[in-house]
């Protein structure tokens, strides 16, 4: 199982790009999973459903299972947030895991950069950024710059630059 990340400031288009590149990779016969890091609380459970009622009653874990999919909800209840490495160990094997977020973690990343977001490049300060995908030229970039519209080329770079999950390095503040 290999991993590659998408990094960029909020509003740069990471999720939009991921929604475009996953079908390209799947069409190539690759099994893809993703991990999205949220900096805020979120909820995937719907109030009024039995699973939500179980969780609100105090269950630490709730599994929702059907003939089409299953979901595992783990309520931290004061426990520390799991590290990216811990999450990856729980995942079923696939060809590629794309990580959205965890921009300070030590794994190869493709930076999504749009000048109109008004934020600086991440890449000069992050040696793990292997390329920049942008909607405009980025002459100051010290890594290859890809056209954000060239999804096939972006998919190629992601597959080439991905590393086996066993090569991950754990930084002190992994969840940043």
Query: For the chain, what is the mean pLDDT?
Result: 90
The pLDDT tens digits of the residues spanning 62-96 come to: 988 889 988 888 888 888 988 898 899 989 999 99
pLDDT for res 129? 97
State the helix-helix crossing angle for 14-27 and 151-161, rounded to 10 degrees. Answer: 80
pLDDT for res 43? 74
CA dist., res. 141 & res. 145, Å (int) = 7
The pLDDT tens digits of the residues spanning 151-164 come to: 999 999 999 999 99
Q: Which residue has the tokens 């893809």?
A: 32
CA-CA-CA-CA dihedral for 78, 83, 121, 14, to nearest 10: -90
CA distances from 33 to 2, 30, 64, 96, 135 (A): 10, 10, 19, 6, 26
Question: Which domains occur in the chain, in start order?
Answer: 2-42+80-167 (3.40.50.300)
The pLDDT tens digits of the residues spanning 98-111 come to: 999 888 889 999 99
């Amino acid at each position: 199982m290999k991993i590659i990340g998408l990094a960029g400031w909020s509003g740069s288009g990471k999720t939009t790009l991921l929604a475009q590149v996953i079908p390209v990779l799947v069409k190539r016969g690759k099994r893809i999973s993703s991990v999205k890091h949220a900096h805020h609380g979120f909820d995937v459970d719907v109030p009024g459903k039995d699973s939500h009622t179980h969780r609100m009653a105090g269950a630490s874990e709730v599994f929702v299972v059907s003939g089409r999919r299953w979901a595992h909800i783990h309520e931290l209840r004061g426990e520390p947030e799991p590290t990216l490495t811990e999450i990856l160990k729980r995942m079923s094997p696939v060809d590629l895991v794309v990580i959205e977020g965890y921009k300070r973690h030590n794994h190869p990343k493709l930076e999504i950069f749009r000048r109109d977001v008004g934020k600086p490049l991440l890449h000069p300060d992050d040696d793990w950024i292997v390329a920049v995908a942008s909607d405009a030229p980025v002459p100051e970039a010290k890594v290859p710059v890809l056209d954000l519209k060239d999804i096939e080329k972006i998919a190629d770079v992601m597959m080439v630059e991905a590393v086996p999950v066993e090569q991950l390095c754990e930084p002190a503040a992994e969840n940043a």
